[in-house]
């Protein structure tokens, strides 16, 4: 069951990576990057569930916070710059 | 139970990625990512919190879930408003555009 979750997250990561590389506007690239952060946090959690080793779980909290701050900063940037 | 929740969350994340790839508009893509993956990541974190044993790990997972549910809508609101106001990003708001009236009113008050 965990392996099926890994496969789904890998496919989702490929989709978000495509949008990060190809997205025509800066917003699309931010959307792709946000999705990749979500995939990364999910993989950390699945790995902790599989092995029972929780040493990486604080990284999930930190990545969540960094993702929010980077989104807010890029939003200010887009508002001034356009496209 | 926890593994089933994590699998459901992974499936929602995959659906969000499908929407992000397939939709034609920047705001539509943001809609797909935000709705699906807030719930998706919350489900994965909840499943993890039900599965792991140590209390510290449970606290980390629940804290990450609470932060994600609190910050993801705020960040999406900031991003979509900035995208709406930026020049050069096409958007297909074609039925009712309440934000335009609101922004026009605030601009008039300010200037």
Residue carrying the six token digits 């809508």? B73
Q: How high is the pLDDT of residue B81?
A: 84
CB contact under 8 A, B26 and A31: yes
A1 vs B7: CA distance, rounded Å = 7
pLDDT at A6 > cutoff 90: yes
Tell me what pLDDT residue B109 has: 42
Q: Is the pLDDT of residue B8 over 90?
A: yes
ipTM over 0.90: no
Q: Residue B85 in 3-state DSSP? A: helix
Across the range B52-60, mean pLDDT stands at 89
- CB-based contact B17 A11, cutoff 8 Å: yes
Work out the minimum CA distance from A53 to partner chain B, whole angstroms.
8
φ, ψ of residue B40 to 5 degrees: the values are -60, -50
Boundaries of every domain in chain B? 2-110
Domain ranges of chain A: 2-81
User: Mutate which of A4, A9, A12 to test chain B, going by most B C-beta atoms within 10 A?
Assistant: A12
Q: Which residue among B4, B13, B76 places its CB closest to the CB of A12?
A: B13
Contacts of A51 in chain B (CB under 8 A): none
Fold observed for domain A2-81: Helix Hairpins (1.10.287)
CB contact under 8 A, B26 and A83: no
Q: State pLDDT tens for residues A14-69.
A: 999 999 998 788 888 999 999 999 999 999 999 999 888 888 899 989 999 999 99
B49 at interface of A, judged by CB pairs closer than 8 A: no
Q: Which of B51, B78, B82 sits opposite A49 (nearest CB)?
A: B51
Q: How confident is the prediction for chain B on average, in pLDDT?
A: 83
Task: Please tell me which residue of chain B has the smallest CA distance to A81.
Answer: B86
DSSP string, A30-48: HHHHHHHHHHHHHHHHHHH
Given CB atoms, is B102 within the 8 Å cutoff of chain A? no
Q: What global pTM score does this model have?
A: 0.85
pLDDT tens digits, one per residue of B58-108? 999 999 999 999 998 899 888 888 887 776 666 666 666 677 766 665 544
Q: For A61, which of B11, B63, B83 is closest by C-beta distance?
A: B63
CA distances from A38 to A63, B40, B45, B80, B102 (A): 9, 9, 11, 19, 33
Whether residues B85 and A19 touch (CB distance < 8 A) is answered with no
């Amino acid at each position: 069951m965990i392996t099926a979750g890994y496969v789904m997250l890998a496919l989702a990561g490929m989709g978000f990576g495509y949008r990060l590389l190809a997205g025509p506007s800066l917003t699309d690239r931010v959307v792709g990057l946000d999705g990749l952060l979500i995939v990364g946090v999910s993989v950390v959690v699945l790995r902790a569930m599989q092995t029972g080793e929780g040493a990486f779980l604080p990284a999930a909290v930190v990545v969540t916070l960094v993702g929010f701050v980077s989104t807010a900063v890029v939003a200010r940037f887009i508002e001034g710059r356009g496209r | 139970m926890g593994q089933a929740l994590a699998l459901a969350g992974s499936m929602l994340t995959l659906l969000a990625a499908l929407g992000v790839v397939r939709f034609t508009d920047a705001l539509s893509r943001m809609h797909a990512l935000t709705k699906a993956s807030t719930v998706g990541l919350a489900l994965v974190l909840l499943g993890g919190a039900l599965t792991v044993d140590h209390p510290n790990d449970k606290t980390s997972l629940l804290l990450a879930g609470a932060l994600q549910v609190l910050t993801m809508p705020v960040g999406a609101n900031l991003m979509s408003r900035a995208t709406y106001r930026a020049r050069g990003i096409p958007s297909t708001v074609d039925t009712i555009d309440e934000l335009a009236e609101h922004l026009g009113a605030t601009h008039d008050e300010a200037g």
